[in-house]
Structure 1
């Protein structure tokens, strides 16, 4: 995985960039098989060697495409994470999934999601994921979006995952969701190796700084951040952009535009700042970022190594766009995946 920052994770490793694979499940728009394979292969070629997926993404389509794209790639050259909690079932003859059940994914296989945190459900869900991924193991398994299912998590879901870890079926277990307060509670009370926190440790939303990150620092829990662009607003701050999967309110669009203006004064693209910002906290080990094309993967890798002056972060604080008590990234360029420094727009 390419180094994208200079903060050390809890295991002593540098902040790294991985590939989030929700888009491979036709998130918001159809994607061709050729494009999906090009995204995965480009990510691996550029050093993004951690791949994160879930049965939820396209009701299994993301995992299937990822498995096909990885055919022939030596298993030891990459790591995989997937999720449990939503078991998939085939639709009955004549049954159609309701539009409200698509959850943003289009043109998906004829399957439905079923919440299932039972021991059997967790085991069956992982077994089905391994089949779709065409592998005999994944490295990390997260319980997915459990905020409304905490009783089942404590009673059966997490014990089932802990059993799989004890048996050596998976190396790391944890939780992945958008709610940092729930992640903080679960991390404080359970033996969690890793958490995937989406959208709550970004330039626009630093909620995790107050609840989740202190707990992870105390317990030595590895943090992976997702949703760095907050569904798109930090990638392109324009009216109509998405924020947390919905159209962004005007106040947030304006705040994102102010962030962009300050970054531009220092010659830094907003996306580069968004990619680097999470690395400031020592518990954050990596980020997973999605892409709709191979070119987006290349651009994310290029921007992750951008030369960002420390003055830019301090100006964001002075403008009231970042709180003064936040940990800020180390200034300067981060080494790129090939060991070269990213010096600006033409650096590769």
Structure 2
């Protein structure tokens, strides 16, 4: 699988990365054996970039990814995790976590201070059983942006200067705030959630031009917009950005599917390929929760996409006219 370097760093990622959210029990519970089989399948498929976070299943995702990667040569993979939420142990008293289908053994405390960042990194390394992280992101800082920018980012830059990590940035869904971070810091990479996809092109307004100007890479996450683009024809109850999709969105996906079908392409194939056409996008990260999902996504990712698909989507008014629709050299 092809790899790309992140910004001005020495860190590389495979074009298809493994998103660790589902390993934390996103939407539905996931047992350890299924998680292990999923990760083994991802490794066997050639994926070498693994992304996780303390937030995902209050530590479950980090622990499970660490269990796989501890048995692999350290130079053979790239690992990213995130900071901004500290996990504080608590008695679950039979309660489930508010965000993931796991017992509420910890509570999250927002903390983008220097001490919070350093503690979060130490806790993550302990959970994963690894000696270093490659990429460190400020996570979900939309409502805490000034603290993340003024306190959190300098801590990340300090860890990079010390060689503790090799690339730093932020992972958010708000392209405007990510653009500000790109302009005001020396970040290497941003992870953009759901804002440069077949359905949402808002990253074209500020973020992607800012990244191009500053030499910052983008990792595109949530390229299926929480599942709406994960199948050819969305089923009733399909999610868009973690909530139910509107009738207008369902109709738009069906129009995209019609154009794709004319070129012998599935919607998931197009959804994974589209962001990578832009020169600042180094990779896409896809959340996977089973061996079958890994194999299906890997096959779809490898499918050739006729260039005419993109021009036809543009002509149908389904892609922003500013979108890059021609692959680079």
- Alpha-carbon distance change, 10 to 115 in structure 1, aligned in 2, over 3 angstroms: closer
Give 1:139 shift.
0.2
How far apart in 2 are the matches of 1:17 and 1:161?
Answer: 25
Conserved? CA contact 2:94–2:103, under 8 Å: no
Conserved? CA contact 2:149–2:181, under 8 Å: no
Give 1:211 shift.
1.3
Conserved? CA contact 1:19–1:48, under 8 Å: yes
Q: Quote the residue 1:218 is aligned against.
A: 213
Q: TM-score, normalised by structure 1?
A: 0.88
The Cα offsets for residues 109-152 of structure 1, whole Å up to 9 and x where unpaired, read as 50011001111111001100001111010100000011111221
Q: Quote the residue 1:248 is aligned against.
A: 245
The Cα offsets for residues 324-347 of structure 1, whole Å up to 9 and x where unpaired, read as 23111439xx9xxxxxxxxxxxxx
Higher relative contact order (CA 8 A, sep 6+): 1
Query: 4+ residue stretches of structure 1 with deviation over 3 A?
Result: 7-15, 93-97
Which consecutive residues of structure 2, in runs of 5 or more, have no partner in the other structure?
Answer: none
Alignment of 1:327-338 (within 5 A): 327-330=324-327
Give 1:8 shift.
9.2
- Alpha-carbon distance change, 281 to 56 in structure 1, aligned in 2, over 3 angstroms: same
Alignment of 1:50-129 (within 5 A): 50-91=49-90, 93=91, 102-103=98-99, 105-108=100-103, 110-129=105-124
- Alpha-carbon distance change, 254 to 8 in structure 1, aligned in 2, over 3 angstroms: farther
Conserved? CA contact 2:13–2:48, under 8 Å: no
Of 276, 281, 284, the match for 2:281 = 284
How far apart in 1 are the matches of 2:319 and 2:6?
Answer: 22
Of 259, 262, 266, the match for 1:262 = 259
Q: Quote the residue 1:183 is aligned against.
A: 178
Give 1:94 shift.
6.6
Which consecutive residues of structure 1, in runs of 5 or more, have no partner in the other structure?
Answer: 335-348
Once the two structures are overlaid, the 10-residue window that deviates more, 310-319 or 20-29, is 310-319
Conserved? CA contact 2:53–2:59, under 8 Å: yes
Of 297, 316, 319, the match for 2:316 = 319
Once the two structures are overlaid, the 10-residue window that deviates more, 268-277 or 32-41, is 32-41
Q: TM-score, normalised by structure 2?
A: 0.93
- Alpha-carbon distance change, 157 to 9 in structure 1, aligned in 2, over 3 angstroms: closer
Conserved? CA contact 1:9–1:283, under 8 Å: no
